[in-house]
Amino acid sequence: MSRGLGSTSKKVLLLFAGGLALGLARSPRQYFRVIKGVGHEWQKINRIKLNTAIRTLYKNKLVRMIDNDNGTTTLVLTDAGRKKVLIYNLDKLEIEVPKRWDGFWRVIIFDIPEKHKPAREALREKLKGLGFYQLQKSIFVHPYECKNKIDFIIEVFKIRPWVRYMMVKHIDNELHLKKIFSFV
């Protein structure tokens, strides 16, 4: 894809991913009547921007159109569209901070082959962005529960065979880590 998507296109993609199937009639008057009844998020999208967003998504092969027998058209996410949605969801990931720390360190270790270097670098950047501390080049530590988020990240980057998630009760430089995470 040559250009990034605008915020309306992103919103439309995310709404599709949420299970929304948009059936569009051939005439604008009819399909905006459909949209009007669909939901609050659709109503917040400007009609002209929506039209442009749908054309952009179609042009970029993120959605496909299915012509129905009754003269309407249904828009469906393609595999490329689903991947794009995963990336947008990945950008919004955050690790929740509980009221009280459970005393366990979450340690991510990885040994990702050189042929997957872009995924390895993306993982490093994502872990840093989530607040992990880089203990060594391929070892990151975080104090809070994040297994589901890590599983999601390694699935998106397709690096499951080379990444391990551990919960550790004690690390020999724990005092240093507690200072980093403001526990002392």
pLDDT over threshold 50, residue 26 = no
Backbone angles phi and psi of 163, in degrees to 5: -120, 135
For the domain that residue 79 is a member of, what is the CATH number?
1.10.10.10
Beta partners for 22? 75
Q: If you ran DSSP here, which 8-state letter would residue 19 be given?
A: T
Selection from 84, 92, 89 nearest residue 4 by Cα: 84
pLDDT at residue number 17: 58
SS3 state at 122 = helix
pLDDT over threshold 90, residue 156 = no
Residues 102 and 162 placed together within one structural domain of the fold: yes
Residues 78 and 118 placed together within one structural domain of the fold: no
106 Cα distance to chain centroid: 21
Among 90, 123, 152, the domain-final residue is 90
What is the C-alpha end-to-end distance of the chain, expressed in Å? 47
Residue 1 lies in a domain: no
Q: Which domain holds residue 113?
A: 95-180
pLDDT at residue number 23: 46
pLDDT at residue number 22: 47
**Model confidence at 14, in pLDDT bands (50, 70, 90)?**
low
pLDDT at residue number 181: 95
pLDDT over threshold 60, residue 159 = yes
pLDDT at residue number 36: 52
Residues 20 and 70 placed together within one structural domain of the fold: yes
Determine the average pLDDT of the residues in 6-25. Answer: 59
Residues 100 and 168 placed together within one structural domain of the fold: yes
More confident residue, 127 or 13: 127
Task: Compute the mean pLDDT over every residue in the chain, rounded to the nearest whole number.
Answer: 81
Confidence (pTM): 0.59
Residues 79 and 18 placed together within one structural domain of the fold: yes
Angle, alpha carbons 129-132-135 (nearest 5°): 130
